[in-house]
C-alpha cells in the first residue's frame, strides 16, 4: 500500500514531505479514533462543533459531518442537563477543565471538557471526550434497587418482631375475655343486656380472627426476611404457597379471581424462606400483568401436582397481557424487565431461576400475547418426603 497516496487522498493539501513512518502513525491514529467506542469533539470559541469522531456517534445515529458547524445549544436542546453542559464548555474557554454527564436520547455519556489551545498556548475553543456509560448506569440503578429491597427485608423482619411482642398479650387478653364471657350468668340479665352481650361476643370473635390474621402475616414476614437464618430441610410446598398467597391476597383480589387447585405433592428439600420468595414473586408478577377494572373476567391460578418422575410441580398462571415472543428467552436474565421504568428491578425472575436451580429443580414459562402467562416449577422430592392429604379447591 502506498501510504503517501492514502494520506494524500484523506488530507488534500497536507504536508507530503512527512516520512512514510509518520504518515503510517497518523493513519493508525485516525483509524483508532474513528473506531473508538466513545466520542471526541472540538468546538470553536462560539461553541460550534469544529470536529467530531468516534464510534459513539454511530450509536446515536449520527456522522461526524452532521455535527460540523452545529451549535452546542442546538445539539443539547433535548438534554435536561443542557445548561450544565454548556457551562462546562464555557468554563473550558476560560481555562478550566470540567467533568459532567450528558444524555443523548436514551444514552448516557460521561464527559470531560478541557480548553483547546494552539501552538502558542492561546485558547481557541474546547476539546471534549465522552464515554458511553448507559449500561453501567442501568446496572448501578438496579443494584441500588436491589440493595433497597434487601434493606426492606431487614426492616420487615424488625417490624415483624416489634408487632409480635404487643400482639402476644393482645391475643392473650382476647382469649381470656372470649373464655370468660360465655360463663357469665346471662339468665339473670334483661333481654336488652343479653342482646348486647351477644353483640360483644360477636365483635370479640371478629377481633380474635383479625389478631390471628395479623399473627400469620407477622410469621410470613419473618419467614420471607429471614435470609441469614435459612434452614434447609423437608418443606411442605402447599404450606409455603398458602403463606405466600396470604401476603399478596388483597393485591390479587383487586385484579382477578384467585383459583387454587392444590393436589398431592411430596415434601421438597428446600429453605422455606427461599421457596416463599419464589412463589411470592410469581404471584406479584401475575397480579401486575393484569390490568385493573375487570376482576370477574380475569383469573390467577395456583396449582400443584406430582409428575411421573415424582417431582412436585407448581404452576402459577394469569390471564394478563402476556410476554412478547421475542423476549421470552431473556425473562430470566439479570436486570431484564418488561415492566415500565421504575416498576421493576429486573431481578425477580433471575433470583427465582437461581433459587429453583440451586434446589435441583427447573422453572419454565409459556406465554401468549394478550392471553396470559404460565410459570411451571418442578422440584425433586425430599429424601424423606411424604404425600400430604389433598386440598383441592377452587375459591376466590
Please give the pLDDT value at position 379.
Answer: 94
DSSP structure class, residue 48: B
| pLDDT of residue 389 exceeding 50 | no
| pLDDT of residue 227 exceeding 80 | no
Residue with cell 421504575: 342
Percentage of the chain with pLDDT > 70? 75
Share the mean pLDDT of the chain.
Answer: 78
Instruction: Name which of 175, 239, 181 is nearest 212 in CA terms.
Output: 175
More confident residue, 321 or 151: 321
Q: Is 286 helix (H, G, I), strand (E, B) or coil?
A: helix
Mean pLDDT of the region 293-317: 92
Please give the pLDDT value at position 260.
Answer: 93
Mean pLDDT of the region 144-172: 73
Instruction: Name which of 42, 44, 41, 10 is nearest 24 in CA terms.
Output: 10
**DSSP string across 325-343:** GGGGGGTTSTT---SPTTS
**Is residue 56 very low, low, confident or very high in pLDDT (cuts 50, 70, 90)?**
confident
Per mean pLDDT, which range of 49-63, 185-199, 224-238, 264-278 is the poorest? 224-238
Cα gap 179→46, rounded to integer Å: 88
The CA–CA distances, whole Å, from 329 to 98, 164, 339, 366 equal 43, 43, 16, 11
| Beta strands in the chain, from DSSP E residues, in sequence order | 38-44, 49-53, 98-104, 107-117, 123-132, 232-235, 257-262, 268-271, 299-306, 312-318, 362-368, 372-379
CB 82 within 8 A of CB 74: no
| pLDDT of residue 396 exceeding 50 | no
Distance of CA 371 to the CA centre of its chain: 23
The neighbour count for residue 237, using CB atoms within 10 Å, is: 24
| pLDDT of residue 46 exceeding 80 | yes
Residue-wise pLDDT tens digits, 332-357: 876 666 665 545 555 678 878 888 98
Domains of the chain listed by start with CATH number: 36-132 (3.30.450.20), 140-229 (1.10.287), 231-396 (3.30.565.10)
The neighbour count for residue 122, using CB atoms within 10 Å, is: 9
Percentage of the chain with pLDDT > 90? 22
Q: Give me the helix-helix angle, 272-288 and 191-225, nearest 10°.
A: 110
Please give the pLDDT value at position 296.
Answer: 83
Torsion-angle region of residue 61: left (phi > 0), alpha (psi -120 to 50) or beta? left
The neighbour count for residue 275, using CB atoms within 10 Å, is: 26
**Is residue 392 very low, low, confident or very high in pLDDT (cuts 50, 70, 90)?**
very low
Parallel, antiparallel, or unpaired for β 98-104 and 123-132?
unpaired
**Is residue 224 very low, low, confident or very high in pLDDT (cuts 50, 70, 90)?**
low
The CA–CA distances, whole Å, from 65 to 51, 61, 62, 370, 382 equal 8, 12, 8, 45, 67
Please give the pLDDT value at position 150.
Answer: 64
Please give the pLDDT value at position 65.
Answer: 81
Residue-wise pLDDT tens digits, 194-222: 778 788 888 888 888 788 777 767 766 66
The neighbour count for residue 270, using CB atoms within 10 Å, is: 28
Ranked by mean pLDDT, which of 60-74, 77-91, 115-129 comes out on top? Answer: 115-129
Please give the pLDDT value at position 2.
Answer: 44
The neighbour count for residue 92, using CB atoms within 10 Å, is: 23
CB 201 within 8 A of CB 183: no
**Is residue 316 very low, low, confident or very high in pLDDT (cuts 50, 70, 90)?**
very high
Mean pLDDT of the region 4-25: 49
Alpha-helix runs per DSSP H in 185-236: 191-225
| pLDDT of residue 146 exceeding 70 | no
The backbone torsions φ and ψ at residue 294, rounded to the nearest 5 degrees and listed phi first, read -145, 60
| pLDDT of residue 19 exceeding 70 | no
Mean pLDDT of the region 117-129: 90
| pLDDT of residue 138 exceeding 50 | yes
The answer to whether the predicted template modeling score (pTM) of the entire model surpasses 0.85 is no
CB 338 within 8 A of CB 324: yes
48's CB contacts (< 8 A; 6+ apart) are 69, 70, 71, 72
Largest CA distance in the chain: 124
Please give the pLDDT value at position 366.
Answer: 93
Please give the pLDDT value at position 151.
Answer: 67
In terms of C-beta density within 10 A (0-12 exposed, 13-18 middle, 19 or more buried), how is residue 223 classed?
buried
Cα gap 358→360, rounded to integer Å: 5
Please give the pLDDT value at position 386.
Answer: 42
More confident residue, 106 or 378: 378
| pLDDT of residue 288 exceeding 80 | yes
Please give the pLDDT value at position 77.
Answer: 77
Cα gap 112→127, rounded to integer Å: 8
Please give the pLDDT value at position 387.
Answer: 44
Mean pLDDT of the region 62-68: 81
Per mean pLDDT, which range of 71-80, 124-133, 306-315 is the poorest? 71-80
Instruction: Name which of 36, 95, 49 is nearest 76 in CA terms.
Output: 49
Amino acid at each position: 500500500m502506498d501510504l503517501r497516496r492514502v494520506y494524500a487522498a484523506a488530507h488534500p493539501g497536507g504536508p507530503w514531505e512527512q516520512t512514510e513512518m509518520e504518515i503510517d502513525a497518523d493513519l493508525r491514529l485516525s483509524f483508532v479514533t474513528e473506531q473508538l467506542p466513545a466520542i471526541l469533539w472540538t468546538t470553536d470559541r462560539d461553541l460550534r462543533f469544529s470536529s467530531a469522531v468516534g464510534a459513539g456517534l454511530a450509536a446515536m445515529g449520527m456522522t461526524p459531518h452532521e455535527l460540523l458547524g452545529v451549535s452546542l445549544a442546538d445539539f443539547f436542546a433535548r438534554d435536561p442537563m443542557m445548561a450544565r453542559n454548556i457551562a462546562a464548555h464555557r468554563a473550558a474557554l476560560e481555562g478550566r477543565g470540567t467533568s459532567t454527564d450528558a444524555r443523548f436520547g436514551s444514552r448516557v455519556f460521561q464527559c470531560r471538557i478541557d480548553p483547546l489551545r494552539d501552538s502558542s498556548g492561546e485558547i481557541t475553543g474546547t476539546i471534549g471526550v465522552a464515554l458511553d456509560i448507559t449500561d453501567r448506569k442501568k446496572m448501578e440503578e438496579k443494584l441500588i434497587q436491589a440493595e433497597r429491597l434487601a434493606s426492606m427485608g431487614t426492616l420487615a423482619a424488625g417490624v415483624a418482631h416489634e408487632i409480635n411482642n404487643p400482639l402476644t398479650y393482645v391475643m392473650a387478653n382476647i382469649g381470656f375475655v372470649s373464655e370468660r364471657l360465655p360463663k357469665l350468668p346471662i339468665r339473670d340479665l334483661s333481654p336488652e343486656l343479653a342482646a348486647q352481650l351477644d353483640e360483644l361476643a360477636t365483635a370479640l370473635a371478629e377481633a380474635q380472627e383479625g389478631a390471628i390474621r395479623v399473627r400469620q402475616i407477622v410469621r410470613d414476614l419473618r419467614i420471607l426476611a429471614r435470609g441469614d437464618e435459612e434452614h434447609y430441610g423437608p418443606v411442605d410446598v402447599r404450606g409455603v404457597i398458602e403463606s405466600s398467597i396470604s401476603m399478596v391476597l388483597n393485591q390479587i383480589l383487586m385484579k382477578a379471581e384467585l383459583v387454587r387447585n392444590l393436589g398431592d405433592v411430596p415434601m421438597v428439600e428446600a429453605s422455606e424462606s427461599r421457596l416463599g420468595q419464589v412463589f411470592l414473586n410469581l404471584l406479584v408478577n401475575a397480579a401486575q400483568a393484569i390490568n385493573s377494572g375487570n376482576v370477574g373476567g380475569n383469573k390467577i391460578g395456583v396449582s400443584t401436582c406430582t409428575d411421573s418422575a415424582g417431582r412436585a410441580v407448581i404452576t402459577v398462571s394469569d390471564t394478563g397481557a402476556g410476554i412478547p415472543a421475542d423476549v421470552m428467552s431473556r425473562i430470566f436474565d439479570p436486570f431484564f424487565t418488561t415492566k415500565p421504568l421504575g416498576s421493576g428491578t429486573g431481578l425477580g425472575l433471575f433470583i427465582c431461576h437461581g433459587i429453583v436451580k440451586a434446589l435441583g429443580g427447573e422453572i419454565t414459562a409459556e406465554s401468549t400475547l394478550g392471553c396470559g402467562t404460565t410459570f411451571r416449577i418442578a422440584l425433586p422430592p425430599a429424601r424423606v418426603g411424604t404425600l400430604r392429604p389433598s386440598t383441592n379447591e377452587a375459591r376466590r
